[in-house]
Amino acid sequence: MLLEFSVANILSFNTTVSFKMESDFSRAEVFNNNTIYESYNSKRKKGYVHNSAVIYGANASGKSNLFFAIAYLKELVENSYEKAIEPVIFKFKDKSEPSKLLIRFIENVEEQKYQFRYEIDINSKGVILNESLFASEISNDVVGKERVVFRREDDHFVVFRKDLHDLVENYKTNNIETKAAISFFNNDINKSFFKETLEKKGYKFLNAVYNFIIDKIIISNRERDNSTIAEMLQDLDFKEKVIYALNEIDNSIEDFAVIDLTDTFYDRMKKMLNSKNKDFIPTSILEEFELIEKKKKKFLDFRTIHKVEDKEYTLDFYLESSGTRKFIDEFIDIVDCLENNKIYIIDEIENHYHEFIQRYILDLFLNQEEGKTAQIITTTHSLEFLDPNRFAKEQIWFVEKDRTTQESLLYRLSDFKEITYNNHNWKNLYLQGRLGAVPKVIM
């Protein structure tokens, strides 16, 4: 579960802004309905985690930049072990100041809940200045004392768990100034050599944080090949839920047929490797071939099945309209998030779906079954979500650009203490400009 994401000095965010999926208590019924987890901190103060958030703001206010910053963190964690990942800094300030990112979330490690806090500071050249990871064990819904997993300054570790000693020593032998430790420890070590270390709690923390950021935060519109989608559709229960969701919104797809093309792909690659064109084969294809050769992966594809007048027709996926392909791809992500307690992030949901489908998707997250902790975060211009019957004040956010400093500011509806659920029309307040985050239109 995502609790908090903070960013400073990236794109239109200058000083630190914090987006949170948790809040203090509210008596509102909708607040209780949309709470998916409750816990006490070490001071016995209770926090409430929400299943959704909607973010409003004028065009060019910086709404999408929040998602860009999350995507940048994902890129940094996944790929900085092999290349410098330079931030796009705020343009109207001293370039010597670093960009800052923080993420706080709850994740299980060996069936035990932990709250993690990961922070990283990076300069405009992609050089990492500070990086730290903290973990707090959660027992009986009480968050325990925060303990350091590691803390790094520039290219050396100031503090780290004893069971990470061998990994840290290995890390020191590398040129690490642009490499996030989380990225390096998960991608660029000899896992056979460090097998004993990898089985210890410290590394399991590193792995849990890496997997949460890379695999559990899903940003809509990501590119994915058919083989990856087909692999997911091999799970019959998962496929059935995708088809059910598609049929709920009147999609004409009856079924999916997964096809194993491993042998065909293998034979063609063998011929290409023995031909004059072998030097032109993309690295990604060669890596996939290597996995197939080692029998670690299959090369799959899938077709859509339509039923017309009681007769079934199979269609290659590429023959579907671009809208249908995108629709299926995104709904697979949505079902994946709901089934596996992930976070789905979608920029301007109204640009992706009809209004009825927007409601349907949000309702999937608002009304998920007991024990599920999936979350959805979307930016929007639609006034339909300023609805006190569907969202709590703590779930509605606004991004406004300061016309003087040109920086984006972030706040939520619950900051307006005087606004109530029963005595105020939130839509009218927003249109009147009393909540900010609307364009200054000159008539």
User: CA–CA separation, 336 vs 257, rounded Å?
Assistant: 19
Per-residue model confidence as pLDDT tens for the chain (443 residues) = 999 999 999 999 999 999 999 999 999 999 999 999 999 987 788 999 999 999 999 999 999 999 999 999 999 999 999 999 999 999 887 777 899 999 999 999 999 999 999 999 999 999 999 999 999 999 999 999 999 999 999 989 999 999 999 888 888 777 889 999 999 999 988 888 888 888 999 999 999 999 999 999 999 977 778 888 888 999 999 999 899 888 888 678 899 999 988 888 888 888 888 887 777 777 767 777 777 777 777 888 999 999 888 899 999 988 988 888 888 889 999 999 999 999 999 999 998 888 999 999 999 999 999 999 999 999 999 999 999 999 999 999 999 999 899 999 999 999 999 999 998 999 999 999 999 988 876 43
pTM: 0.91
User: CA–CA separation, 6 vs 18, rounded Å?
Assistant: 4
| Sign (positive or negative) of CA dihedral 143, 148, 149, 153 | positive
Q: Residue ranges per domain, the chain?
A: 1-220+347-443, 224-341
200: left (phi over 0), alpha (psi -120 to 50) or beta: beta
CB atoms within 10 A of CB 309: 4
Please list the helix, strand and coil fractions of the chain in percent, rounded to the nearest 5, in that order.
Answer: 35, 30, 35
CA quadruple 21, 23, 27, 32: dihedral, nearest 10: 30
